């Protein structure tokens, strides 16, 4: 067992929050007990972005990555149509929505999927975006509170996603600390946020585990590995990453490399090597026989 601060934090949080058995069991399906960390694959973008580049056919994108994923994040529509129920990967179910990328304000979200449906689908966690500091701050925070109450009734963990909509510049420690702490105070079991400068301060002010999103595709693989490495070193329990994995030409190499960083404390250099070793071999065209 890797004795990391993330492991200690998760164990401590579990004990101190007196989590019910059902919630603990579902959390353990995502945050894996041997390391206390998690590689989550974010594939829920379609709920407001439509057929996102390289997620046009979700099954085609998701299936090759499932063996290297602890949890896959999807909506119920993609879960039912594109993921084989025989797979043992745990599910993080997106349950908020009601907006589309065409509109300027993405914060006007409601709850799109009931807790009863989440239980029926046997998911390990439900996820909802909160939009702190926007016109719909109150609405999204009260939606979160409702979800946490229902989660307690059903033994279902709740993840808050500290969404920034199109205002990517909001991703700083001051704003993210505020949003993460508010979510924790409302009672979520886990938060997804962005990595930022002084990220350790965000972790310090948030008494529940944090995973980081990747955001839009970065310039290089090294940038992605560095982000994941810094995030776990500064206290994240893992990543919930999408575009920087499946928009890459070598998605399997990306997820294997990130998995090594998250679960094996691999360095950026190790990760780069894993990525290169897993490049798909190009098919050599057979010469046409006369």
Shortest distance (Å) from residue 164 CB to ligand R5P: 9
Nearer to ligand R5P, 205 or 215 (CB): 215
- Considering only 42, 91, 179, 188, the residue that binds ligand R5P (CB under 6 A) is 42
- Residues 85-104 contacting ligand R5P, CB under 6 A: none
Q: Count the site residues for ligand R5P by CB under 6 A.
A: 13
- Does 242 participate in binding ligand R5P (rule CB under 6 A)? yes
- Considering only 170, 243, 256, 259, the residue that binds ligand R5P (CB under 6 A) is 243
- Considering only 213, 224, 231, 257, the residue that binds ligand R5P (CB under 6 A) is 213
Stretch 140-179: interaction string toward ligand R5P, x if CB under 6 A: ---------------------x------------------
CA gap 146, 113 in Å, rounded: 13
- Does 44 participate in binding ligand R5P (rule CB under 6 A)? yes
- Considering only 37, 45, 76, 136, the residue that binds ligand R5P (CB under 6 A) is 45
CA gap 34, 94 in Å, rounded: 26
Which 8-state DSSP code applies to residue 83? Answer: S
Residue 32 bears catalytic tag: no
Which 8-state DSSP code applies to residue 246? Answer: H
- Does 221 participate in binding ligand R5P (rule CB under 6 A)? no
Spatial neighbors of 23 by CB under 8 A, at least 6 apart, are 151, 152, 155, 156, 157, 189
Alpha carbons within 13 A on the beta-carbon side of 237: 29
What region, left, alpha or beta, does residue 84 occupy, with left being phi > 0 and alpha being psi -120 to 50 degrees?
Answer: beta
Phi then psi for 108, rounded to 5 degrees?
A: -85, 55
Catalytic residues: 192
């Amino acid at each position: 067992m890797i004795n990391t601060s993330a492991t200690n934090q998760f164990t401590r949080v579990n004990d101190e929050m007196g989590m019910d058995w059902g919630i603990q069991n579902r959390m353990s399906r995502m945050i894996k007990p041997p390391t206390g960390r998690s590689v989550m694959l974010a594939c829920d973008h379609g709920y407001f972005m439509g057929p996102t580049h390289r997620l046009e056919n979700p099954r085609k994108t998701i299936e090759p990555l499932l063996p290297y994923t602890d949890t896959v994040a999807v909506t119920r529509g993609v879960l039912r149509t594109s993921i084989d129920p025989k797979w043992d990967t745990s599910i993080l179910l997106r349950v908020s929505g009601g907006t589309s990328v065409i509109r300027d304000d993405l914060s006007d979200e409601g709850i799109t999927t009931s807790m009863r449906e989440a239980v029926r689908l046997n998911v390990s966690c439900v996820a909802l975006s909160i939009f702190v500091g926007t016109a719909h701050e109150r609405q999204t925070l009260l939606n979160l509170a409702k979800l946490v109450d229902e989660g307690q009734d059903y033994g279902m963990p709740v993840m808050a996603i500290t969404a920034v909509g199109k205002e990517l510049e909001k991703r700083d420690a001051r704003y993210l600390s505020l949003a993460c702490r508010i979510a924790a105070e409302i009672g979520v079991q886990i938060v997804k946020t962005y990595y930022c400068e002084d990220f350790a301060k965000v972790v310090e002010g948030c008494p529940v585990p944090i995973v980081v999103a990747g955001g839009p595709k970065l310039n290089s693989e090294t940038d992605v590995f560095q982000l994941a490495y810094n995030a776990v070193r500064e206290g994240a329990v893992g990543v919930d990453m999408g575009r920087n994995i499946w928009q890459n030409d070598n998605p399997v190499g990306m997820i294997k490399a990130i998995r090594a960083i998250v679960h094996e404390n691999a360095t950026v250099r190790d990760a780069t090597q894993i990525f290169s070793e897993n490049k798909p071999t190009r098919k050599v065209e057979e010469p046409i026989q006369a």
